[in-house]
Structure 1
């Protein structure tokens, strides 16, 4: 199947630029909703029916869409992606959208606007080529994946359960690989409680929450072993330098290849809670948990079909389980045929070096188009 006439590189890159330059950090509701509006307008222009779903409290909206098909109302193939990023508004000043040789840079371009845009353009290319699809194609675009999908998990699982196949255009693995399983992940809220005092006149009367937190960080991270990792990524405390801090908060992340290892890690983290009669001390609260996704036969059969398409396209397509959670954790854990890492190749994810390999825009769109055509 040749889609050369309908997958035009310069046009795709220009469309992706619009998406990347619409910055959309998770906690900025207005920014995320601007991105959802842009994506909605593009989907409508692509011929899709679009439904905007009001977002969870404190978060942006989501989109559901379906492309024309004789059985459009039925389940079939779900392209599942997120449009929120970790980069705050203003990152474009230091990480502008730009092409440099075989790379293209920009906030969120690899995780995961590049793969999402390529996947949608693959659907359009199939339509323009007059390809009769056996299954209808649906789309779910969510707003909070970068914080563990606390507000959209129910939506994700409800929508995914309607479909035969779940395709997730998160960034590709090294070597042009895809993902057939993901590790289990838990997030924790860390709370250090101190006693206030005047830092100049009565320093000894206080108990610093910041110092309490600082003492706990190496204790937490030293629990890391081959089975389960622990890292502290957020710390916030204090307001006045002349006050002994009363409160300090943080966030920690734990990841394990097996659910039992993560469950033990959660127990170890929660056991760190220790406060005295005055409330001074340390507290750990469990946040969002992504279940382990281990590749079952349904997912491996889906991968086998993708591999056959890749062979026709003369591209390698290795597969593996991966760290770094995605919404594929949820659908994979439900036993639904899920193939993740179908997005573009790139690197520097979540940094000021985030980029994609520009050739992968067309290559991955062709892979997605071939796979969607092959699925029954």
Structure 2
């Protein structure tokens, strides 16, 4: 049988295949853009002979895409390749962050998080099929449209699909040392609104009560609650339309991350305690979506890590494993106790910024890791 680690992975070929993925911008809140991305991916999967389903979003976001790869037991539970196709970059980002290669670095919106990893794992399946290599277990692919906003529309789909499988592979970007993630911290989101009293800012300023001013005061209070084990970040702020009006409404969003469920519960309590209907400006806080703690060191996950480390030693890379912040859909599958190996995608830097890039040499490296995992994960 062909050694999967010796398949003819080609860097230039992978970059050529990745380019249309990156140049099809797909920000979460633009459902049509995400669906254009899913169209591109659907074509690539159809070429592989996969059976494909498009699953509409119950929240009006983009579709999810579920595909089962050719196999004698096609469609049965086995290995789930789980990833997202939405990005944080709005349409038009390509003008500032064009797809380009400079030596061992390749730039592009969403290339690191996480289109690069998704593509590499599909390329591994492509090469396995072309070589006539049958994986011990059938493979199902699930790509979702809303991970960057906490997976509010597709969590139930992710969990239901994951429960059908023995192993879950999540090719989110690798940790800075190239290692994998075997547990994740909890994340909670909050929607905040201050409501004041409008007035003409020039004619009757003293009669108004500014919702913006009250929210601005809260930024320091909220971010000042940050500790090493539980962080608070106010990352969205919307208010005002006319500069000559005292703003009566201000909306904001806060993200809290904690290493344990107990710490998250305490952080949630601190946030909810900021609700206030006293004084001239009301502060209302509503809890949003939450990613539960994925506790590390679960036996099934640790067995997957050990296998990845064995494959890594054969291809000359070291793969550590640890818990990490920065939520993913691995939070959900790991929380359920399902064997999950996360952050096994490409290496790079600058995700969510206008310097997002990957290290080109990680493409073939991770493709070999993927091929090894697909061929050595057994029932």
Provide the C-alpha distance between the structure 2 equivalents of 1:90 and 1:120, rounded to a whole number of angstroms. Answer: 27
Task: Give, in angstroms, the shift of residue 32 of structure 1.
Answer: 0.4
Q: Is the 8 A contact 2:106 2:359 kept in 1?
A: yes
Q: Is residue 2:120 matched to residue 1:118? A: yes
Matched, 1:227 2:229: yes
Task: Please give the secondary structure, in 1, of the residue aligned with 2:345.
Answer: coil
Counterpart pick for 1:359 among 361, 365, 371: 361
Query: TM-score with structure 2 length normalisation?
Result: 0.97
Q: Which moved more, 1:45-54 or 1:355-364?
A: 45-54
Whether the 8 Å contact between 1:133 and 1:373 is mirrored in structure 2 is: yes
CA-CA distance at 1:324 after TM superposition: 0.2
CA distance in 1, matches of 2:60, 2:70: 33
- Matched-pair contact (CA < 8 Å) for 1:190–1:252: yes
SS of the aligned residue for 2:257 comes to strand
| Structure 1 match to 2:301 | 299
- Over the aligned positions, Cα root-mean-square deviation in angstroms equals 1.1
1:269-284 equivalences in 2 (<5 Å): 269-276=271-278, 280-284=281-285
Q: Secondary structure at the match of 1:275?
A: coil
C-alpha distance after superposition, 1:150-182 (max 9, x if no partner): 010000000000000000000001221111011
Runs of 5+ consecutive residues of structure 2 not aligned to the other structure: none
Q: CA deviation at 1:5?
A: 5.2
| Conservation of the 8 A alpha-carbon contact between 1:193 and 1:281 | yes
Which residue number corresponds to residue 285 of structure 1? 286
Tell me the distance in 2 between the aligned counterparts of 1:133 and 1:60. 31
Q: CA deviation at 1:298?
A: 1.2
Task: Name which of structure 1's ranges 300-309 and 106-115 shifts more when overlaid on structure 2.
Answer: 300-309
Residue 6 of structure 1 contacts residue 129 of structure 1 at CA under 8 Å; is this kept in 2?
Answer: no
TM-score, normalising length from structure 1?
0.98
CA distance in 2, matches of 1:4, 1:128: 13
Q: 2: CA distance between counterparts of 1:326 and 1:232? A: 20
Q: Aligned with 2:134: secondary structure?
A: coil
Q: 1:93 aligns with which of 92, 95, 112?
A: 95
Give the paired residue count.
Answer: 375
CA distance in 1, matches of 2:153, 2:161: 14
How far residue 4 of structure 1 moved from its aligned partner, in angstroms, is 5.0
> What whole-Å deviation, never above 9, does each CA across 1:71-111 have from its counterpart, x for those lacking one?
11210000000000000000000100000110000000000
Question: Would the aligned equivalents of 2:4 and 2:375 in 1 still touch at CA under 8 Å?
Answer: no
Using the TM superposition, give the Cα deviation of residue 2 of structure 1 relative to its aligned residue in structure 2, in angstroms.
5.0
- Structure 1 stretches of 4+ with a deviation exceeding 6 A read none
CA contact (8 A) 1:144 1:152 kept: yes
Whether the 8 Å CA contact 1:25–1:85 is kept in 2: the answer is yes
**What whole-Å deviation, never above 9, does each CA across 1:262-309 have from its counterpart, x for those lacking one?**
01100110010001387x321111001000001211111111111111
Quick check: 1:84–1:145 contact (8 Å CA) kept in 2? yes
Q: 2:66 touches 2:141 (CA, 8 Å); kept in 1?
A: yes
Structure 1 residue 109 and structure 2 residue 125: aligned? no
Aligned mates of 2:191, 2:93 — CA distance in 1: 26
Structure-to-structure mapping, 1:147-296, within 5 angstroms: 147-276=149-278, 280-295=281-296, 296=298
* Aligned partner of residue 19 in structure 2, secondary structure: helix
Q: 1:29, 1:60 within 8 Å by CA — same for their partners in 2?
A: yes
Q: Secondary structure at the match of 2:285?
A: strand
What are the ranges of 5 or more consecutive residues in structure 1 without an aligned counterpart?
A: none
Q: Check if 1:39 corresponds to 2:38.
A: no
1:191–1:247 CA contact under 8 A, matched in 2: yes
- What's the CA shift string for 1:185-244, capped at 9, x where partnerless? 000001011100111111111100000100101000000112210010010101101110
Deviation string 1:14-68 (CA, Å, 9 cap, x unpaired) is 1101100000000011100100111101110122111110112231101000101
Correspondence for 1:68: 70
Alignment of 1:129 onto 2:163: no
Structure 1 residue 8: Cα displacement: 2.1
Q: Are the aligned partners of 1:3 and 1:126 in contact in 2 as well (CA < 8 Å)? A: no
